Structure 1
Amino acid sequence: MVAQQAAAQAAPRPDSDVPESMRAAVMFGPGDIRVVDKPVPRPGPGEVLVKVSVCGMCGTDLKIYDGHFPGTPPYGSYTPGHEWSGTVVEVGETVDEVAVGDRVCIEAHHGCGRCENCMAGLYTCCLNYGDVAKGHKASGMTVDGGFAEYAIHHVAALSRMPTNVSDLDAVLITTAGTGLFGIDMIGGYLLGQDVVVFGPGPVGLMTAQAAKQLGARQVILVGTRDSRLARGRDLGADHTINARQSDPVAEIARLTGGEGADVVIETSGNVAAPQQCVEAVRRGGTILVVAFYPEPVTLDLSAVVRQGVQVHTTRGEGGNNVRRALALADMGRLRGEELVTHEFQLDDIAEALRVVRERDGDPLKAVIRF
């Protein structure tokens, strides 16, 4: 049986060197993920087949693993993974933007391209979300993703990678796109402003870097783990605050001359953080929320209104901001690879999920390497 599987995997397609089958992680139920053989998909019009080099793992993958993420395909065939990069091995009809051999990274979301939100660049809020027949695909969320040797994605959601951007960098490029999209939607103008970032996880650390590169006067990073705060200082944060050791609101007030921050960005997902954002922002300032929460949160909305504070939310990496993040990385202004702390083989994906959930060994970004 093993020999037959190996032979099937090695058998090339009639028109290429791509095998007919591949190893892929498949969800069979909540908490049940297995590595099995699956057919290698063929790209349709506008699609690209990529040999995956690396696929990152984040909190969304834990929600998917637990069965708490809406819109995923049926159990027994579905492969998650939405932070991946690799090399183009086949292209579908009409594709001339990339070629076989190109290294690419992805935007997880490809909107339908026909609804009002997509036409406005808000494809992470596509009005046809999850409707594959109308063209929407969210890699690893509503369609198969990158925890597999090969993955399909639409060419519009792929970007060619410069030679000086590594595969591990690319995993964090999608993450950086999340922060940049949020900054874009609040005006994209941080020059001379005081910016606070709650949560020194991958999104927070990439967002803090981006804020500094976009001209923030000072970037203040708030978290609870000294190791991550230290990483934030290495990446350019001007000040870090351990919320377990001091009151972050009081410290932010001190660092901003008692006025509060111009922009407060919440990336932590801690249910107490939104109210701290309200207390930390200046009158007339801006709060940006890009996190998901395990339960409803409580905040003083009357204070928000009295202070004339603008509250914005964004989901994912819309507005072409992955390509902007890639440009910053190409210029050496966004550092991603050093955030990768744990690497696993595909066969060990269940162990990788356990490590991320239990924070075993203080993982910052865990990836599956192929």
Structure 2
Amino acid sequence: MPSETMLAAVLGEPGTIATTRLPVPEVGPDDVLVRVRRASLCGSDLKIRSHKFFGGGGPPAENFVPGHEYAGVVAAVGGNVDEFSVGDRVVAEAHRGCMRCVNCLAGSYTDCLNSGKREKGHRSQGMTVDGGFAEYVNNHVSTLHLLPASVDFDAAVVLTTVGSVMHAFDVLGSLIVGASVAVIGPGPIGLLAVQVARQLGADKVALVGTRASRLKLGEQFGADLVLNSRAEDAVAAVRDHTGGFGADIVLECSGAGPAVDQAIHMAKRSGKVVLVGFFAEPVLADLNHAVMNGISLQTVRGEGTGSVARAVSLAGQGRLNTDALVTHHFPLEDIGEAFDTYAERRGDAIKVMLDISDDAEATHGR
């Protein structure tokens, strides 16, 4: 059993985060206590650190523990839990809906109508309840997935991001086989989107960005057209690449305001645009072009519809390359430096990992 206290990173004043000692969470009847082995930083974590998440509000400072991308080992289970055992290796997904509103009952638990209301059952790890930037974290049993033995903890943490990509393809409501796909933004989400598009049978995959090193990775991951939008007209190039029609599907993964208009003009008539990135401010886009050309705009917020479970399956089959995305490791005590490295893209940082515990590998995996 864990000790009574644990090392954890908590929010301070805007722009600061530091470690302290907190009580180990108490395990409820439907909870699983996870000893965190690895956690990673995400663009949302930067917004949470700056107190600009959720429209400027976000979680409270002082004792709030961020972190929604993490994996570890089961340390204890609640009395009602028989799905996991102590020692199991698991990865978490961030969102647990209330499972009582009409959206949750329809499977849209990331759009829970009781978002933020813990008393009604809603949880968002690291966003509305304590997350994984700590030695231990409580998860509802429904938010954990058993890791195959072949998937290490670095790869497991990246699967939360893969879940967001899988969810983005889910909302299209159609097969990807044979479709042309354009991805804007070669960050972790965009680079994984290239891989997933290939695994789902896309015919043509284009990647648009501004950083040469990221675009080169995109080529390795299966993009057959990479475009530096600072040096060339990406819209014209994608349309040319698709016989002058435009892409069937465009995923906007950058969160850059001008990219929305770019995505709309990159799509073919009756094409589909999915907005995956989070935007820092309101966006201007030529919606009349979308209306006149029957272009659908859809959005996703993180993982959903069981997408992390399917990401785990893909990884277990050896069909994802996540190693190339993990560029930095820091101990939890150096979380401030880890955040700065990620925010400033030092050393071309892509996925920055926190090594939180170093106990021996767990014995359970399938």
Q: TM-score range by the shorter chain?
A: over 0.9
TM-score, normalised with respect to structure 1: 0.94
Residue correspondences, number: 354
Deviation at 1:336, TM superposition (A): 1.7
**Deviation per CA, 1:248-285, whole angstroms, max 9, x where unpaired?**
01110111111100001100011110000111100111
Aligned to 1:316: 302
CA shift, 1:34, in A, is: 1.5
Larger relative contact order (CA 8 Å, sep ≥ 6): 2
Give 1:249's aligned amino acid: V
Give the alignment partner of residue 193 of structure 1, picking from 158, 175, 179: 179
Matched residue, 1:209: 195
Q: Distance in 2 between matches of 1:187 and 1:347?
A: 44
Whether contact under 8 Å (2:67, 2:133) holds in the other structure is yes
Q: Which residue of 1 aligns with 2:35?
A: 51
Pick aligned residue for 1:337 from 298, 310, 323: 323
Deviations 1:126-161 (A, max 9, x none): 001011111111000001101101111111010000
Instruction: Report what 1:26 is aligned to.
Output: 10
Superposition pairs for residues 224-303 of structure 1, below 5 Å? 224-303=210-289
Q: Which deviates more from structure 2 when the two are superposed, residues 66-75 or residues 340-349?
A: 66-75
**Which letter does structure 2 place at the counterpart of 1:214?**
L
Aligned partner of residue 29 in structure 1, secondary structure: coil
Q: CA deviation at 1:32?
A: 2.5
Q: Distance in 2 between matches of 1:61 and 1:188?
A: 32
Q: Identity, % of aligned pairs?
A: 48
2: CA distance between counterparts of 1:124 and 1:335?
26
Question: Does 2:21 align with 1:37?
Answer: yes
The question of whether the paired residues in 2 share the 8 Å contact of 1:192 and 1:216 is answered with yes
Deviates more, 1:26-35 or 1:222-231: 26-35
Does structure 2 retain, via aligned residues, the 8 Å contact 1:172–1:337? no
Q: Is the 8 A contact 1:49 1:91 kept in 2?
A: yes
Matched residues in 2 for 1:86 and 1:157: separation? 13
CA distance in 2: counterparts of 1:272 and 1:74, whole angstroms: 32
Letter in 1 for 2:53: F
Q: Which amino acid aligns with 2:340?
A: R
Unmatched runs of 5 consecutive residues or more in structure 1: 1-16
Aligned to 1:346: 332
Q: Which residue of structure 2 aligns with residue 178 of structure 1?
A: 164
User: What is the aligned partner in structure 1 of residue 119 from structure 2?
Assistant: 133
Match of 2:313 in 1: 327
Q: Which residue of 1 aligns with 2:138?
A: 152
In structure 2, the CA distance between the partners of 1:276 and 1:321, relative to structure 1 (3 Å rule), is: same
Partner of 2:76: 90
Distance 1:85 1:347 in 2: 18
The CA RMSD measured in Å over matched residues stands at 1.0
Instruction: Provide the rounded CA distance (Å) in 2 between the counterparts of 1:194 and 1:73.
Output: 40
Shift in CA distance, 188/148, structure 1 to aligned 2, threshold 3 Å: farther
CA 1:83–1:256: 2 relative to 1, 3 Å: same
Q: Give 1:188 shift.
A: 4.2
Measure the CA separation in 2 of the matches of 1:280 and 1:354.
Answer: 34
Partners of 2:240 and 2:156 in 1: how far apart? Answer: 37
- TM-score, reference length from structure 2: 0.95
Counterpart in the other structure of 1:10: none
Q: CA deviation at 1:171?
A: 1.3
Amino acid at match of 1:22: M
| 1:365 aligns to 2:351 (yes or no) | yes
